[in-house]
């Protein structure tokens, strides 16, 4: 915990503007009179008060996996120490008039907007109900191809500039003199994968150039090595390493993903409605999207 506190303090000293932003966000939590009455003051920095709920909010802003361990008295004391340092730095920035700087003022405004936008997103998320089974099924039927994993193959290749070099390499491979990885590292001009033996990993049809792809998908467990294949990049020797059949998932396997998609669609529609209903005017024609 000490290292975390030290890191945050150094960060604050490096960017005093960030302290202003955080302080502005904290001020929003303090405008709740009823909550102030219920939450005791735990520290004062000048005329500013830091409340118990400020510590709670700081914990809530952390990843969920950390929240439990941050509830101990010692951890909460460390958080309060950070809040005190933030407040002190923010007050110093105010005294220096940094909040009047146009760029800092702009950043503070954008930070406030970001917090409010997240609040709108959270509100919309909580307001979205789970799609009905009928809607999930209808989406699955309409978009089943989106969830289908096509046939894939796993190959590696050696790319050279002329056919004779490719034939010589093929002869070496068939004789077993050197491994594919060794020859790829030695001769291949495809620098993007020669360091890993020419491995192109798994891919489906429509990924590679057609001549290469046709040759690669023609290979199998009994016919693993291709003849030299010419493409716009040069001459390839391709080795088949494996294949995966097409996978057609069931509705049950895709239900959670479909729920996420439908909920995101609802969220996007709600956000668009808010924007469309706003009174917006672009005063310079050159800034209007075309």
Residue 110 lies in a domain: yes
Residue 155 lies in a domain: yes
Residue 140 lies in a domain: no
> pLDDT at position 37, please?
55
Asked if 143 and 216 count as a contact pair (C-beta separation under 8 A), the reply is no
> Which residue reads 């909920």 in tokens?
263
This prediction has a pTM of 0.56
98 and 180 fall within a common domain: no
> pLDDT at position 125, please?
87
Instruction: Give every CB contact of residue 26 below 8 A, 6+ residues apart in sequence.
Output: 54, 57, 83, 86, 87
121 and 155 fall within a common domain: no
Task: Work out the average pLDDT over 230-253.
Answer: 95
| pLDDT tier, 126 (very low <50, low <70, confident <90, very high otherwise) | confident
Distance CA 33, CA 31 (A): 6
231 and 174 fall within a common domain: yes
87-98, pLDDT tens digit by residue? 999 999 999 999
31 and 76 fall within a common domain: yes
Task: Work out the average pLDDT over 33-51.
Answer: 81
116 and 173 fall within a common domain: no
Residue at which a domain ends, from 207, 222, 244:
244
45 and 88 fall within a common domain: yes
Range of the structural domain that residue 61 is part of: 2-127
37 and 104 fall within a common domain: yes
Domain count along the chain: 2
Distance CA 94, CA 98 (A): 6
10 and 65 fall within a common domain: yes
189-225, pLDDT tens digit by residue? 999 999 999 999 999 999 999 999 999 999 999 999 9
Long-range contacts from 61-66, C-beta under 8 angstroms, 24+ separation: none
The CATH number assigned to the domain holding 233 equals 3.10.50.40
Average pLDDT, the chain: 87
Distance CA 1, CA 285 (A): 53
Residue 277 lies in a domain: no
228 and 161 fall within a common domain: yes
Of 231 and 21, the one with more pLDDT = 231
154 and 234 fall within a common domain: yes
Residue 75 lies in a domain: yes
Rounded to a whole number of angstroms, the CA Rg of the chain reads 31
Residue 256 lies in a domain: no
> Which residue reads 């020669």 in tokens?
194
Residue 261 lies in a domain: no
Q: Is the pLDDT of residue 153 over 80?
A: yes
6 and 122 fall within a common domain: yes
| pLDDT tier, 4 (very low <50, low <70, confident <90, very high otherwise) | very low
Of 270 and 31, the one with more pLDDT = 270
Q: Is the pLDDT of residue 282 over 70?
A: yes
Q: Is the pLDDT of residue 29 over 60?
A: no
Residue 284 lies in a domain: no
Q: Is the pLDDT of residue 36 over 60?
A: no
**Is 51 strand, coil or helix?**
strand
């Amino acid at each position: 915990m000490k290292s975390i506190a030290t890191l945050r303090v150094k960060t604050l000293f490096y960017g005093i503007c960030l302290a202003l932003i955080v302080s502005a966000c904290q001020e929003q939590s303090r405008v709740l009179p009823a909550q102030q009455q219920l939450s005791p003051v735990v520290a004062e920095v000048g005329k500013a008060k830091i409340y118990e709920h400020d510590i709670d909010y700081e914990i809530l802003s952390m990843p969920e996996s950390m929240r439990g361990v941050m509830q101990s008295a010692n951890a909460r004391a460390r958080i309060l120490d950070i809040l005190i340092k933030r407040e002190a730095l923010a007050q110093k920035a105010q005294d220096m008039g940094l909040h009047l700087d146009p760029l800092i003022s702009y950043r503070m405004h954008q930070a406030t907007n970001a917090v409010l936008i997240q609040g709108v997103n959270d509100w919309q998320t909580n307001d979205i109900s789970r799609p009905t089974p009928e809607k999930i099924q209808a989406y699955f039927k309409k978009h089943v191809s989106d969830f289908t994993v096509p046939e894939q193959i796993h190959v590696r290749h050696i790319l050279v500039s002329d056919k004779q070099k490719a034939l010589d390499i093929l002869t070496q491979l068939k004789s077993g003199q050197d491994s594919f990885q060794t020859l790829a590292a030695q001769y291949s001009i495809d620098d993007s994968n020669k360091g890993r033996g020419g491995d192109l990993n798994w891919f489906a049809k429509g990924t590679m150039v057609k001549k290469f792809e046709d040759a690669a998908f023609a290979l199998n467990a009994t016919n693993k090595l291709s003849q030299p294949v010419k493409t716009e990049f040069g001459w390839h020797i391709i080795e088949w390493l494996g294949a995966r059949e097409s996978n057609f998932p069931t509705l049950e396997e895709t239900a959670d993903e479909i729920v996420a998609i439908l909920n995101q669609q609802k969220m996007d529609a709600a956000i668009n409605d808010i924007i469309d209903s706003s009174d917006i005017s672009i005063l310079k024609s050159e800034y209007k999207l075309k």
